[in-house]
A and B are shown apart, each in its own frame.
Chain A
């Protein structure tokens, strides 16, 4: 046995290396999902006050308690459940319809109090400068994509005019 090992140690070392490589592949290289733990320098996550303040989407339905009459009251319960629930209408317009304005920018604008096309359409140069300065890496987008003109057409519901000037919605 010892002789065999001595004579073939190169092969055995190769086998060992192959095993090592397979283990490395299994445990390191093929592990595509990585979990990154962010050591928070930013403090705890902020609560979403808008979500807390929003009216509940669904409202409780009063279901009459069962009565000795058997199924009496079921009709009312079904009727109550079938009534459309009036969810709180989202305030403002979908700003992401403006070309060059994505969800992140829409969030930023919402944070700045801009929620409707009419507001954007009414911006003058000074206002554009003021908002633009707060858009971080998106600075310059307002004029580049002419948000006020887009918003003006969108606020007026002039889809044809919009598509003629800015392309398909």
Chain B
């Protein structure tokens, strides 16, 4: 087996890709945003139901590669029922691990550590962060306008 089959596409990643959690729409989202990866046109839309500082519920829709779908699926599990500060801190840790600024063993990532292998594949970091971009924009209340993994590019 190749390295990617072992390190990048761990079974838990493939399992989330095949059966993404919290996939679909919310009845009445209070916040939502969409993320786009310009290199493949993939889009992920995240819908939130916030109650004060708490992520009461979260759903996502869209299509993406296995990395993108698994990352977004695990993200929804990790932030559901938690407060916004937790979601933002988790995003920062996850991002820091992928960009090599933080050691995966030191970061409080939970199940998301299974995606730490992405740091060996720089061209795939955008895939892993797409859903997170959408989440952060939804939290920031920047409305439903699309966001890109490469801001400022058409």
Say if A and B assemble together.
no
